C-alpha cells in the first residue's frame, strides 16, 4: 500500500506540473479560500493570475470561475470575477458558478453551463496536486478531453494536500455519482 501511495503521488505530481494547454472554449478556474477581508488568498491569486495569463494568450474565450461561500462569508466566484475584471478581463467573458462547493459540483455545473452555451472544450486551472482529480471529475460528467494548467504557487501545505488527494482521488474514482 505504501508503494502504491508513493507511485500515485509521483504520478499526480507529474500530471499536475505537466500542463496540457490547448485552445479551448472555456477556462475553468476552481475556487479556494478568500481572506477575512474579502481578498483572494495567495493560492487563489496564483490560480487567477495563471487564468489571466492564459486568457491574454488566447487559450480560451470565456472564463468560468467556480466556488462557494466559505466560512469567511464571501462568495468565492464573485471575488474571483472581481479580481479578473480588475486585471482587465471583460465582465461579459467571465461566468460565475457560485454553487461549485467541491470539485465534483464544479464539474457538474460546468457541464450544464457549457451545454447551455453550446460549447464543448475545457481547460481547468488549479493547484498541481488537484489537477488529476479535477480531470477525473470532468471526465466523469462527459468531457472527452480535459486540458489543464497549474497555478505557479508552492507551499509546505502542498505535502498535506498531496496526501489528502490520494484518498480523494480514489473516492471520486470509486464513488462516481
pLDDT at 1: 85
pLDDT at 71: 87
Ordered DSSP codes for the chain: -HHHHHHHHHHHHHHHHS-B----SEEEEE---B-TTSPBPHHHHHHHHHHHHHHHTTS-SEEEEE--B-TTS-BHHHHHHHHHHHTT--GGGEEEETT--SHHHHHHHHHHHHHHHT---EEEEE-GGGHHHHHHHHHHTT-S-EEEEE-S---THHHHHHHHHHHHHHHHHHS--
pTM score of the predicted model: 0.94
Span 44-90, pLDDT tens digits: 999 999 999 999 999 999 999 999 998 889 999 999 999 999 999 99
User: How many whole angstroms separate alpha carbon 127 and alpha carbon 150?
Assistant: 5
Q: What is the per-residue pLDDT across 10-51, written as a single tens digit (0 to 9) for each?
A: 999 999 999 999 999 999 999 999 999 999 999 999 999 999
Average pLDDT over residues 99-109: 96
| 121 closest CA partner among 61, 57, 51 | 61
C-alpha 104/C-alpha 134 separation (Å) is 8
pLDDT at 176 over 80: no
Cell 461549485 found at: 100
How high is the pLDDT of residue 177? 61
pLDDT of residue 96: 98
Q: How far apart are CA 132 and CA 9, in angstroms?
A: 10
Question: Reading across the β-sheet that carries 122-126, which strands appear in turn?
Answer: 94-97, 62-66, 26-30, 122-126, 146-150
The reported pLDDT for the residue numbered 41 is: 97
- pLDDT for 51: 98
Whole-number mean pLDDT of the chain? 96
Please, are residues 111 and 142 in contact by the beta-carbon 8 Å criterion? yes
Q: Which three cell numbers stand for residue 126?
A: 488549479
Q: Regarding predicted confidence, which is higher, 129 or 72?
A: 129
Given a cut of 80, whether residue 129 has pLDDT beyond it is: yes
> Can you give the pLDDT at residue 59?
98
Amino acid at each position: 500500500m505504501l508503494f502504491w501511495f508513493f507511485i500515485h503521488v509521483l504520478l499526480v505530481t507529474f500530471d499536475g506540473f505537466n500542463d496540457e494547454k490547448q485552445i479551448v472554449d472555456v477556462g475553468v478556474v476552481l475556487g479556494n479560500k478568500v481572506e477575512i477581508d474579502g481578498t483572494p488568498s495567495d493560492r487563489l491569486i496564483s490560480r487567477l493570475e495563471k487564468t489571466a495569463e492564459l486568457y491574454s494568450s488566447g487559450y480560451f474565450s470565456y472564463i468560468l470561475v467556480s466556488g462557494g461561500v466559505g466560512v469567511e462569508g464571501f462568495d468565492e466566484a464573485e471575488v474571483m470575477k472581481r479580481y479578473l475584471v480588475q486585471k482587465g478581463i471583460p465582465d461579459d467573458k467571465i461566468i460565475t458558478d457560485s454553487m461549485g462547493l467541491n470539485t465534483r459540483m464544479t464539474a457538474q455545473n460546468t457541464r450544464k453551463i457549457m451545454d447551455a452555451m453550446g460549447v464543448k472544450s475545457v481547460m481547468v486551472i488549479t493547484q498541481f496536486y488537484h489537477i488529476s482529480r479535477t480531470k477525473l471529475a470532468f471526465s466523469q460528467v462527459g468531457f472527452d478531453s480535459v486540458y489543464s494548467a497549474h497555478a505557479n504557487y508552492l507551499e509546505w501545505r502542498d505535502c498535506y494536500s498531496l496526501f489528502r488527494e490520494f484518498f480523494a482521488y480514489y473516492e471520486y474514482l470509486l464513488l462516481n455519482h
